[in-house]
């Protein structure tokens, strides 16, 4: 009869799954995870920015703005619910392929199917259903791609790796715009291309990099009430997590306020001849400057072992960019603001994600807790339009809007000082 597994073996299995990582990850590992992250954000952002507006304009040209608000609002609501739920189930997954890879691949396939369904619709209701299906799948994938940094990357590499993966948010927007405007034409082909790329870019990480499976004995028995309660994290019991969530929410809200109405700002305030092209140029400048700061600042943050000071720095830089937009109405000043905002956001992308992974309450709940944190990314996208419109109408127009953005970003940056457990 074979001997029973030793207690030391069980401890080793537990440590491999839940302990803080100590083995550095390789450049190919980081590149593969970055590609999977790029897939998520390209599939998220390109429909919102390009494909959905074109599709809904064709379906309902008279009420296209209301239709777009309805579709994207419902999609954001699904995202807020799906991300932490998928994360919680990922934490409990005992597949021999690990906890994250099944959700990355399954989410990619479901998200691609949702994009295909959206492409085939000819009513606003149909588009809303398809986009909600896509959001559910893509948020399951997002839960899978955000957690490997906490699972596998040691603290000394975490901001550097976060810089690469965080940069994919901006790169995804630019690359998706280029693919759907230059390489393919038409709404249907745009959706299909995104669906194929979503799965294809996920495969290198899913197929190449194994992860230790969660032993079934480490998975707690399922209790529906306990599971539902676990989705709420009390700021009183976990104050560092609460302050990190609020910091992220406010900085993202300020960034959303600063970028939401750039098209109309160029047309109405700057009087730029082709505001559509102008927004594309600003987006390219913003992304290039984010790329210049994200990884170098991540490396520096890892080297000095500090996070909060860099978050304050990014808030100051981003607020300065918002004030440039508030005070000046010229194309050169707007270009400068895009560059400064991108540089500040690059710092944020690297350091904030690393900081967040250091305030997670329980190692066994990393994906679920990161899903809760990700609400601070999607929530501002819903709230920003509701806040921006009355500010522009009643509180000083674009000057009031960009001043408000600067104040919100500054408050978010200053609140990071309330986090006690991270330097």
CATH number for the domain running over 26-210: 1.20.1250.20
Domain boundaries, the chain: 26-210, 232-423
Burial classification of residue 311, based on how many CB atoms lie within 10 Å of its CB (0-12 exposed, 13-18 middle, 19 or more buried): buried
pTM for this structure?
0.88
User: What SS3 class is residue 185?
Assistant: coil
CA atoms within 13 A on the CB side of 339: 6
pLDDT digits (tens, 9 = 90+) for 38-48: 999 999 988 98
Asked, colleague to colleague, whether 26-210 and 232-423 share their fold, the answer is: yes
How far is Cα 352 from Cα 54, in angstroms, rounded to an integer? 34
Mean pLDDT calculated for residue range 146-161: 95
CATH class, range 232-423: mainly alpha
pLDDT digits (tens, 9 = 90+) for 248-259: 999 999 988 888
Instruction: Answer for the pair 282, 265: CB distance below 8 angstroms, yes or no.
Output: no
**How high is the pLDDT of residue 241?**
96
CA atoms within 13 A on the CB side of 302: 21
How far is Cα 195 from Cα 421, in angstroms, rounded to an integer? 41
Instruction: Answer for the pair 294, 227: CB distance below 8 angstroms, yes or no.
Output: no
**How high is the pLDDT of residue 267?**
87
Distances (CA, A) of 380 to 172, 207, 232, 333, 340: 19, 34, 19, 26, 21
For 107, the token pair is: 């989410």
Give residue 76's pLDDT band: very low, low, confident or very high (50, 70, 90). Answer: confident
Instruction: Answer for the pair 152, 21: CB distance below 8 angstroms, yes or no.
Output: yes
Tell me 216's DSSP state.
G
pLDDT digits (tens, 9 = 90+) for 182-240: 888 889 999 999 999 999 999 999 999 999 899 888 887 778 888 888 888 899 999 99
């Amino acid at each position: 009869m074979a001997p029973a597994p030793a207690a030391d073996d069980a401890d080793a299995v537990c440590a491999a799954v839940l302990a803080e990582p100590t083995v550095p990850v390789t450049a190919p590992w980081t590149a593969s995870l970055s590609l999977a992250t790029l897939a998520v954000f390209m599939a998220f952002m390109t429909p919102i920015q390009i494909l959905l507006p074109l599709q809904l304009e064709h379906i309902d040209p008279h009420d296209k703005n209301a239709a777009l608000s309805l579709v994207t609002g419902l999609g954001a609501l699904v995202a807020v619910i799906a991300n932490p739920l998928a994360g919680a189930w990922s934490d409990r997954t005992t597949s021999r392929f690990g906890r994250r890879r099944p959700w990355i691949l399954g989410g990619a396939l479901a998200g691609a199917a949702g994009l295909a369904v959206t492409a085939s619709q000819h009513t606003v209701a149909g588009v809303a259903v398809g986009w909600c299906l896509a959001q559910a799948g893509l948020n399951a994938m997002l839960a899978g791609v955000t957690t490997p940094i906490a699972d596998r990357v040691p603290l000394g590499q975490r901001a550097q790796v976060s810089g690469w993966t965080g940069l994919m948010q901006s790169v995804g927007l630019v690359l998706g715009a280029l693919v759907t405007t230059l390489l393919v034409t038409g709404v249907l082909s745009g959706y299909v291309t995104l669906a194929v790329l979503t799965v294809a870019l996920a495969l290198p990480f899913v197929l190449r990099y194994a992860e230790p499976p969660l032993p079934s004995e480490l998975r707690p028995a399922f209790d529906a009430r306990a599971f539902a309660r676990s989705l709420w994290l009390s700021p009183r019991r976990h104050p560092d997590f609460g302050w990190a969530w609020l910091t992220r929410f406010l900085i993202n809200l300020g960034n959303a306020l600063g970028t939401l109405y750039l098209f109309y700002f160029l047309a109405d305030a700057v009087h730029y001849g082709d505001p559509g092209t102008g927004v594309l140029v600003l987006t390219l400048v913003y992304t290039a400057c984010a790329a210049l700061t994200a990884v170098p600042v991540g490396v520096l943050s890892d080297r000095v072992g500090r996070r909060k000071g860099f978050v304050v720095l990014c808030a100051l830089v981003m607020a300065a960019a918002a004030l440039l937009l508030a005070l000046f109405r010229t194309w050169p000043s707007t270009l400068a603001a895009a560059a400064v905002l991108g540089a500040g956001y690059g710092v944020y992308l690297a350091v904030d994600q690393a900081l967040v992974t250091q305030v997670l309450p329980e190692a066994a709940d990393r994906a679920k807790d990161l899903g809760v944190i990700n609400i601070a990314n999607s929530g501002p996208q819903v709230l920003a339009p509701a806040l921006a419109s009355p500010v522009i109408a009643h509180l000083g127009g674009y000057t009031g809007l960009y001043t408000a953005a600067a104040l919100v970003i500054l408050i978010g940056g200053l609140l990071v000082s309330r986090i006690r457990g991270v330097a």
